[in-house]
Homo-oligomer: A and B are copies of this chain.
Amino acid sequence: MTRDVHPRILIVEDEKDIVQVLEFALRQAGFETVSARDGGEAFARIREKAPDAVILDLMLPDISGTEICRQLKGNARTATVPVIMLTARSEEVDRVVGFELGADDYITKPFSVREVVLRVKAILRRGVAGEAPPREQVGPIRLDTEAHRVFVDSQEVDLTALEFRLLETFMARVGRVQTREQLLRDVWQMTGELQTRTVDTHVKRLREKLGSGRDLIETVRGLGYRMSDPAEK
């Protein structure tokens, strides 16, 4: 893994059109791209030079994407390379499978190119970092997971279960941008396709309860939201 100015993205996908579109968009966005039509090619490309991230179609001519993913994640040298799964079916089963295999993100077809680029950026930014437990204290906010209580300036504030989970998620990833899609996955468990605006509303409510004065949760236009520690600057 090189991680220089132009991260190298490997696209494993047999449909030529899709590859072309993705390569164009990713290069536009400043990435270096390589592509493979099937599993064999994919491993060859990886052997040449490990990519910084892999976009992996679930359905491939020879071995399935799941198998590739499993092998990638099983190998110490490549286990840390983030994998984004492309899947045609949006059933929850497939997604879970994807995650059970260790994929780091997934996108269902049809997808917007814009979305893919955002996901790639997001995943490179956050690294493959596994779920860290939430920080207990960030700025004036203290979170007691066991008791399920939140204090701002040692003053308890009442949050609903959902708001609590949302805050928990932010505090587990302090300093990193969370896309609406990530939040929908982690907080809402993504059951049955939700409007993304739902996230906005709940961020608003959370902001209100945490004290609207200070902006503890920042908006990152075009991407999502972020909570940063005022101490780390």
Contact = CB atoms under 8 A, between A and B. Distances in A.
A226 B131 contact: no
Contacts of A148: 177, 220, 223, 226
Contacts of A226: 147-148
A140 interface: no
A29 B160 contact: no
Given A114-B131, A130-B28, A221 B21 contact: no
Contacts of A203: none
Number of this chain's copies in the complex:
2
Interface residues of A, number: 46
A101 B79 CA distance: 32
Contacts of A130: 25, 27-30, 117
26 contacts: A17-B70, A20-B70, A21-B101, A21-B102, A24-B102, A27-B130, A28-B130, A28-B131, A96-B110, A96-B112, A99-B112, A102-B113, A117-B130, A117-B131, A121-B133, A125-B146, A146-B175, A146-B176, A147-B228, A148-B177, A148-B220, A148-B223, A161-B220, A161-B222, A161-B223, A162-B222
Nearest to A18: B100
Most central of A121, A147, A175 by chain B CB within 10 Å: A147
Nearest to A97: B110
Interface string A5-49: 000000000000100110011011110000000000000000000
